[in-house]
């Protein structure tokens, strides 16, 4: 750890409270955290961490994460300082830490269509490419043309066809590569119409989702033929609480932090929901949120 701290002293922080850096506002401290400013800096930091056998996790806005109360014994690299964006007539290329909603908004202002589904998803580009984030029947895989990544030794480019995309699935979930940037294809559209669509959808999000409380979005993936939120609601679980974690009254697919929730509270609530939904409907709910556990 000493070598990393010495070589990257300007971008490293020790004992970073993860609760302050995640949308759930849950989690203990990471031994080390870093905020690299360039792709090359990120790549050389990760390469050195690997050489030094330091457990490393790369994240974006941490809006899909449940950090553990025990924290993280290693290095968490946040991509949020990597924000360079290049605009073309029919594409945008953005670094991993760029805000997805910000580029979707800018695309709309430029009268470019394709990203409007992503307006309101609180992701970074890297997190969205990793998760194949989606909404309104669209998802990242529909507009991505290629991504660049670091495989631990080299920076490479991956075309869309090699992303193994599926519902909330991508090759990055198994490859361990670090996404550095992505290119999305866009088409000419009507700026005013696109703007209106985005505003309407944002309004709907505010009405339907509990954005007033910390959360990590939908806790469960959509089970085939069902909606997780509807199944949970039908089990009478809206408002059900364990510690500071509560099944949202507004949208049963969300667990919200009503104050002081721990990862233990959230995990216990997930197990309870799962058991009730299985008992009532015989459907297994797979989690979409990612628990960063210290357990092997
Ligand atoms: C209020 C709210 C609403 C939401 N609405 C939606 C929605 O409509 N649709 C949807 O799909 N999701 C939604 N989400 C969930 C979340 O925003 C998405 O999953 C998003 O893609 C996560 O992006 P992130 O930058 O926060 O990634 P993080 O949460 O930081 O990371 C997610 C995963 O990606 C990995 N990762 C991140 N960056 C990189 C990188 N550069 N290289 C390699 N791996 C990386 C992380 O290790 C982690 O495994 C919502 C969340 C909230 C809180």
The protein residue whose alpha carbon is closest to atom 43 in ligand 1 is 178
Q: Are residues 28 and 109 in the same domain?
A: no
Same domain, 246 and 162: no
* Structural domain includes residue 202: no
Residue 199 lies inside a defined structural domain of this protein: no
Q: What is the span of the domain harbouring residue 117?
A: 85-193
Q: Assess if residue 151 is contained within a domain.
A: yes
Q: In this structure, is residue 203 part of a structural domain?
A: no
pLDDT the model gives residue 294: 63
CATH number, domain containing residue 31: 3.30.43.10
Residues 239 and 270 in one domain: yes
199 an active-site residue?
Answer: no
Task: Tell me whether residue 156 is one of the annotated catalytic residues.
Answer: no
Examine the domain organization and report whether 120 and 156 are in the same domain: yes
Could you tell me if 105 and 187 lie in one domain? yes
Distances in Å between the Cα of 84 and the Cα atoms of 80, 96, 105, 109 are 11, 9, 15, 18
Among 42, 119, 123, which is best to mutate for testing ligand 1, by the most ligand atoms less than 8 A from CB? 123
End-of-domain residue from the set 164, 193, 222: 193
Give the chain's domain count: 3
Regarding whether 90 and 73 lie in a shared domain, the answer is no
Determine if ligand 1 sits within 6 Å of the CB of residue 80.
no
For residue 98, what pLDDT is reported? 98
* Contact by Cβ (8 Å): 283, 226: yes
How much distance in Å is there from the Cα of 259 to the middle of ligand 1?
A: 22
Q: Residue 58: CB within 6 Å of ligand 1?
A: yes
Q: How far is the CA of 195 from the centre of ligand 1 (A)?
A: 24
Q: Examine residue 286 and state whether it is found in any structural domain, yes or no.
A: yes
- Cα 131 to middle of ligand 1, angstroms: 6
Choosing from 78, 93, 116, the residue where a domain stops is 78
127 within ligand 1 shell (Cβ under 6 A): yes
* 217 CB near ligand 1 (under 6 Å): yes
Give pLDDT tens digits along the chain (296 positions): 889 999 999 999 999 999 999 999 999 999 999 999 999 999 999 999 999 999 999 999 999 999 999 999 999 999 999 999 999 999 999 999 999 999 999 999 999 999 999 999 999 999 999 999 999 999 999 999 999 999 999 999 999 999 999 999 999 999 999 999 999 999 999 999 999 999 999 999 999 999 999 999 999 999 999 999 999 999 999 999 999 999 999 999 999 999 999 999 999 999 999 999 999 999 999 999 999 986 54
Q: CATH number, domain at 154? A: 3.30.465.10
Do both 172 and 96 map to the same domain?
A: yes
* 104 and 13 assigned to the same domain: no
Is the domain of 147 the same as that of 182?
Answer: yes
- CATH assignment at residue 278: 3.90.78.10
Half-sphere exposure of 40 (CA within 13 A, CB side): 0
Domain end residue (candidates: 160, 193, 226): 193
133 and 154 assigned to the same domain: yes
| Ligand 1 contacts CB of residue 135 (under 6 A) | yes
**With helix as H, strand as E and coil as C, how does the chain read?**
CHHHHHHCCCCEEEEEEHHHHCCCCCCCEEEEEECCCCHHHHHHHHHHHHHCCCCEEEECCCCCEEECCCCEEEEEEECCCCCCEEECCCEEEEECCCEHHHHHHHHHHCCEECCHHHCCCCCEHHHHHHHCCEECCEEHHHCEEEEEEECCCCEEEEEHHHHCCECCECCHHHHCCEEEEEEEECEECCHHHHHHHHHHHHHHHHHHCCCCCCEEEECECCCCCCCHHHHHHHCCCCCCEECCEEECCCCCCEEEECCCCCHHHHHHHHHHHHHHHHHHHCCCCCECCEEECCCC
Quick check: is 205 in a domain? no
Ligand 1 centre to CA of 189 (Å) is 27
The pLDDT score that the predictor gives to residue 132 is 98
Catalytic residue among 158, 168, 215, 276: 168
201 lies in some domain? no
| Cα–ligand 1 centroid distance for 125 (angstroms) | 9
pLDDT of residue 205: 96
- Indicate whether 71 and 102 sit together in one domain: no
Residue 241 falls within a domain, yes or no? Answer: yes
- For residues 168 and 214, membership in a common domain is answered with no
Residue 211 beta carbon below 6 angstroms from any ligand 1 atom: yes
């Amino acid at each position: 750890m000493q070598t990393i701290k010495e070589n990257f002293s300007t971008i490293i922080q020790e004992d970073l409270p993860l609760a302050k850096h995640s949308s759930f506002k849950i989690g203990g401290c990471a031994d080390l955290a870093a905020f690299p400013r360039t792709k090359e800096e990120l790549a050389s930091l990760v390469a050195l961490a690997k050489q030094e056998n330091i457990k490393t996790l790369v994240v974006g806005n941490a809006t899909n994460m449940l950090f553990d109360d025990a924290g993280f014994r290693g290095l968490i690299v946040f991509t949020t300082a990597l924000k360079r964006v290049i605009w073309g007539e029919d594409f945008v290329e953005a670094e991993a830490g760029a805000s997805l909603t910000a580029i979707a908004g800018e695309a709309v202002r430029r009268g470019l269509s394709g990203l409007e589904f992503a307006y309101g998803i609180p992701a970074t580009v890297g997190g969205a490419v990793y998760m194949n984030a989606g909404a309104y029947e669209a998802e990242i895989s529909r507009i991505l043309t290629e991504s660049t990544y670091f495989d631990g030794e080299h920076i490479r480019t991956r075309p869309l066809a090699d992303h193994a995309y599926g519902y909330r699935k991508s090759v990055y979930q198994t490859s361990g590569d670090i996404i550095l940037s992505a290119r999305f294809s866009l088409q000419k559209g009507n700026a005013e119409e696109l703007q209106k669509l985005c505003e309407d959808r944002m309004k709907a999000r505010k009405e339907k989702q509990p954005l007033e409380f910390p959360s990590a979005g939908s806790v469960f993936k959509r089970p085939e033929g069902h909606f997780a939120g509807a199944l949970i609601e039908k089990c009478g679980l809206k408002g059900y609480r364990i510690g500071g974690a509560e099944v949202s009254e507004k949208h049963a697919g969300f667990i919200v932090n009503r104050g002081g929730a721990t990862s233990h509270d959230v995990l216990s609530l997930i197990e309870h929901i799962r058991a009730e939904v299985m008992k009532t409907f015989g459907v297994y709910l797979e989690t979409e949120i990612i628990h960063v556990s210290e357990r092997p």
